[in-house]
């Protein structure tokens, strides 16, 4: 499928609180290099800046990032700042806090509630902003999110954060957070071949409540942070051939077909892949194709 002139609005829009975004956004993790969380070969900085600027030119107005997205010599937030500041009024930047890494790149233990202001302020410093549009609390295996989410709600009240989301959660955590402050978005791992019944429930519940659901690793599948999967079921390949599309585009199209509240944040440091990801917003799967792909997803559970 031709991708050069397709823009992100082709997939439609959704509203995060009072912020309207195109349903295909951009995940910043891969801007730092192929080994996003390791100290391997860093990305080409100018190429990453060019990819970000091209994404915005193609209508992307929702970027997902984090202060802990860094590798040797590269910081995703610094690249975003260099590429896009001063930021346009319609650009929504979402960050996540909870996990953290020290200056050597080693992962620390889960943040305490009193640590979260420092994490938010670090994102603000790196991005060069005075507030964050959306901040996710990434649950780090704790049973309750109330204390941590409450700390973020206080920062929202102080004007450092505009809207709140939660990540890696179950329905009970959503209810717990909503008792404290509004939740505009949920971010869990979700994809065609990475099924989790709890997350399937989250997709449904978010749709019923008008909350955005933003999956991560929708293309990568089981490969996760290592990058896009190269393992594709024959059914995925067949659908791709029928639409003259790539398997990654089919995976994105299936993700978006799960509901108008489902957004996508595919990340890449490759300008060709960027255009292909955005073009996936025009791919309309037939009912028969959706049935086949839904069956694959059910089998993955």
| pLDDT recorded at residue 227 | 47
Across residues 169-196, what is the average pLDDT?
A: 94
Beta bridge partners of 73: none
Under 8 Å between Cβ of 85 and 52: no
| pLDDT recorded at residue 240 | 95
Burial 7-38 (b: 16+ CB within 10 A, else e): bbbbbeebebbebebbbbbbbbbbbbbebbbe
Burial 240-265 (b: 16+ CB within 10 A, else e): beebebbbbbbbbbbbbbbeebbbbb
| Strand blocks (E) in 80-160 | 92-97, 132-138
Across residues 174-184, what is the average pLDDT?
A: 98
The superfamily in CATH containing domain 8-300 is NADP-dependent oxidoreductase domain (3.20.20.100)
Using omega within 30 degrees of 0 as the cis cutoff, is the peptide bond preceding 86 cis? yes
Provide the 8-state DSSP code for 228.
S
* Reduced DSSP (H G I as helix, E B as strand, rest coil) percent helix, strand, coil of the chain, to 5: 45, 15, 40
pLDDT tens, residue by residue, 145-159: 999 999 999 999 999
pLDDT tops 80 at residue 217: no
CA–CA distances in Å: residue 206 to residues 145, 210, 258, 277: 18, 6, 11, 24
- The average confidence (pLDDT) of the chain is 91
Instruction: For residue 39, name the pLDDT band (cuts at 50, 70, 90).
Output: low
| pLDDT recorded at residue 294 | 93
Instruction: For residue 219, name the pLDDT band (cuts at 50, 70, 90).
Output: confident
Whether residue 69 lies in the annotated active site: yes
pLDDT tens, residue by residue, 65-83: 999 999 878 899 999 999 9
Instruction: For residue 231, name the pLDDT band (cuts at 50, 70, 90).
Output: low
| Ramachandran class of 171: left when φ > 0, alpha when ψ lies in -120 to 50, beta otherwise | alpha
Q: Pairing relation of β-strands 26-27 and 62-65?
A: parallel
Token pair recorded at residue 279: 């073009």
Instruction: State the Cα–Cα distance between residues 70 and 290, nearest whole angstrom.
Output: 37
Across residues 114-133, what is the average pLDDT?
A: 97
Place of tokens 């009193």: 114
- pLDDT higher for 267 or 33? 267
Chain mean position to CA 275: 17
Percent of the chain with pLDDT over 90: 77
Across residues 155-181, what is the average pLDDT?
A: 98
Under 8 Å between Cβ of 293 and 18: no
pLDDT tops 90 at residue 91: yes
> 69, 87, 103, 136: which is the annotated catalytic residue?
69
pLDDT tops 80 at residue 134: yes
Across residues 108-129, what is the average pLDDT?
A: 94
Cβ contacts of residue 247 below 8 Å, gap of 6+? 232, 236, 237, 240
Instruction: State the Cα–Cα distance between residues 38 and 105, nearest whole angstrom.
Output: 7
């Amino acid at each position: 499928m031709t991708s050069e002139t397709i823009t992100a609005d082709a997939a439609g829009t959704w509203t995060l609180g009072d912020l309207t975004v195109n349903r295909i956004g951009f995940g910043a993790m891969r801007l730092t290099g192929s080994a996003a969380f390791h100290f391997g070969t860093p990305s080409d900085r100018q190429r990453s800046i060019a990819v970000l600027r091209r994404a915005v030119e193609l209508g992307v107005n929702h970027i997902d990032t984090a202060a802990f997205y860094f590798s040797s010599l590269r910081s995703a937030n610094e690249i975003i700042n260099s590429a896009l500041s001063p930021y346009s009024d319609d650009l929504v930047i979402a960050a996540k806090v909870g996990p953290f890494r020290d200056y050597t790149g080693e992962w620390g233990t889960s943040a305490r509630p009193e640590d979260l202001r420092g994490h938010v302020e670090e994102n603000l410093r790196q991005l060069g902003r005075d507030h964050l549009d959306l901040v996710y609390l990434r649950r780090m295996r704790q049973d309750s999110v109330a204390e941590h989410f409450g700390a973020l709600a206080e920062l929202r009240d102080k004007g450092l954060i505009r809207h709140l989301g939660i990540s890696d959660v179950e329905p009970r955590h959503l209810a717990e957070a909503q008792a404290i402050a509004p939740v505009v978005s949920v971010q869990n791992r979700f994809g065609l071949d990475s099924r989790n019944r709890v997350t399937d429930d989250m997709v449904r519940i978010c749709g019923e409540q008008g909350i955005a659901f933003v999956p991560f690793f929708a293309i990568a599948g089981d490969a996760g942070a290592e990058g896009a999967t190269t393992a594709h079921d024959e059914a995925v390949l067949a659908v791709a051939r029928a639409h003259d599309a790539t398997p990654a585009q089919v995976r994105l199209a299936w993700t978006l077909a799960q509901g108008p509240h489902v957004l996508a944040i595919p990340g890449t440091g490759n300008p060709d892949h960027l255009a292909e990801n955005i073009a996936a917003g025009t791919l309309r799967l037939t009912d028969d194709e959706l049935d086949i792909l839904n069956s694959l997803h059910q089998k993955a559970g």
